[in-house]
Amino acid sequence: MNSDLQVFGTVALAPRTIQELVRILPFSHHTIYKSIERLTRASLLSKQRRGKQILVSVAQGYRAAKFRDLCIKALSRGIDPAQLLAQSQYIAKLAGLDIVTAVEVQNRTGLSRPTALKVMKSLESSGLARLESPRPLTIRIDKSSEVLATLMTLAKPDRDVRPSLMLEERPYQQSELPPEDLERKLYATAESKAPVAIEGTSFVTRGHGRLELLTPLGRSNEERFIRYLMTPDGVEDSCIRMLRANQINHPALLEEARRRNMVNIVGCYLQILHDIDKNLVSELVAELFRALRRKGPRHVFLKQLKPLGKESFLENYEREWNLDLYLDFDAITHGVGSR
């Protein structure tokens, strides 16, 4: 392993002073000092004066944190991170494949046959792929490999994260992101002065300016819709916004609701919205769900609002959809009326 990675790997485990690094690493003072300088310039390490000593630690930020993950995960599996990083650009081009042959590697990377074979052997020996056949050499990429996943996050460029559609100005900026992008964003916001919160958790930081509300993105819009439907804000605002922006595929929503045994809840909600605004949910959609209503034990819709009691106004919906409803009809109507 080269001096840069050895210095980084050591500091990844615990911050060290330069003096300590010189003492414990098998390199000269000059080599270690040069490595620290290079890693600091690359924003992977940071230096801090502690009296007469200089303390070296992993820098703040997404890339540095992922780099630390990669070093520790690779080392603890007996993989040389230096070798991985040297081949990361080729590995990135192969990671999406299942079975890989030398021809495939050559086509995707432009490498010569001998180098392609070398990369394949390296993937196999580092546990990122399994041998399928020795002749001709064929390997199977191990998609469950944590080291591969971490390497891929490092290989991906930062994506431009943009907020979601809102037809009104709100006191926060919401960004709905897949977990990996949310993690990147979280690291980026750690260096900003703006307040940050993650929806659905109690994580919140105070600061100046507009709140950045980060929302983990579900696998599909329909899944997200159902997740929102479990909260008062979702029922009274987010789900309505999704419907208004035509983000919901109704047959897919029905399928997701069936999978979760929530046809009655989703159907009842859509029926209520239809009754408030026929342009928001059509009769056809409410009918689609009504046809698949389930009998059996009564489910509770929005248990969090139970302390407010029931609205007698909603009794007909309760009977029709076999539910205990704790919805705030005024709030839903207000949400439908807002833009």
277 in Cβ contact with 312 (< 8 Å): no
Residue number, 74 or 214, with CB nearest to other proteins: 214
Size of the site for other proteins (CB under 8 A): 48
For other proteins, which stretch binds (CB under 8 A), given 66-74, 85-93, 117-125, 166-174?
Answer: 166-174
Residue from 170, 193, 260, 278 binding other proteins (CB under 8 A): 170
- Window contacting other proteins (CB under 8 A); options: 26-34, 86-94, 198-206, 250-258: 198-206
Provide the minimum distance between the beta carbon of 168 and other proteins in the complex, in angstroms, as a whole number. 4
Residue 190 touching other proteins (CB under 8 A): no
Give the up-direction half-sphere exposure of residue 296: CA atoms within 13 A in the CB hemisphere: 9
Q: Please choose, out of 95-103, 126-134, 206-214, 254-262, the segment that lies near other proteins by the rule CB under 8 A.
A: 206-214
**328 binds other proteins per the rule CB under 8 A:** yes
Site string for other proteins, 28-57 (x = CB under 8 A): ------------------------------
Token pair of 245 as six digits: 């922006």
Could you tell me which stretch among 13-21, 146-154, 287-295, 307-315 binds other proteins (CB under 8 A)? 307-315
User: Whose Cβ is closer to other proteins: residue 80's or residue 311's?
Assistant: 311
User: Is 287 an interacting residue with respect to other proteins (CB under 8 A)?
Assistant: no
- Pick between residue 77 and residue 203 the one whose CB is nearest to other proteins: 203
* Minimum CB distance to other proteins, residue 302 (Å): 10
Give me the least distance between CB of 12 and other proteins, in Å please. 33
How far is Cα 124 from Cα 251, in angstroms, rounded to an integer?
Answer: 43
- By the 10 Å C-beta count (0-12 exposed, 13-18 middle, 19+ buried), 204 is classed as exposed
Pairing of strands 196-198, 211-216: parallel
Per the document, the length of the chain is: 339
Q: Which of residues 239-268 bind other proteins (CB under 8 A)?
A: 245, 247
Sheet holding 129-133, edge to edge: 99-101, 138-141, 129-133
Binding test (CB under 8 A) with other proteins, winner from 156, 313, 315, 316: 313
Q: Please, which residues have CB within 8 angstroms of residue 269's CB and are 6 or more apart in sequence?
A: 229, 235, 239, 301
How far apart (Å, rounded) are the C-alpha atoms in residues 62 and 337? 41
CB neighbours of residue 217 within 10 Å: 17
113 contacts other proteins (rule: CB under 8 A): no
Give the position of tokens 């992922």.
66
Residue 187: CB atoms within 10 A of its CB come to 16
Q: Which residue, 311 or 320, is less far from other proteins as judged by CB?
A: 311
* Contact window for other proteins (CB under 8 A) among 46-54, 129-137, 196-204, 283-291: 196-204
Tell me which residue has tokens 């030398």. 102
**DSSP output for 49-91:** EETTEEEEEEPSSHHHHHHHHHHHHHHHTT--HHHHHHTHHHH
DSSP state of 209: S
- Of the chain, the end-to-end C-alpha distance in Å amounts to 58
Note the residues at the interface with other proteins (CB under 8 A). 162-173, 176, 195, 197, 199, 201-202, 204, 206-207, 210-211, 213, 221, 231-233, 236-237, 245, 247, 304-305, 307-309, 311, 313, 328-331, 333-335, 338-339
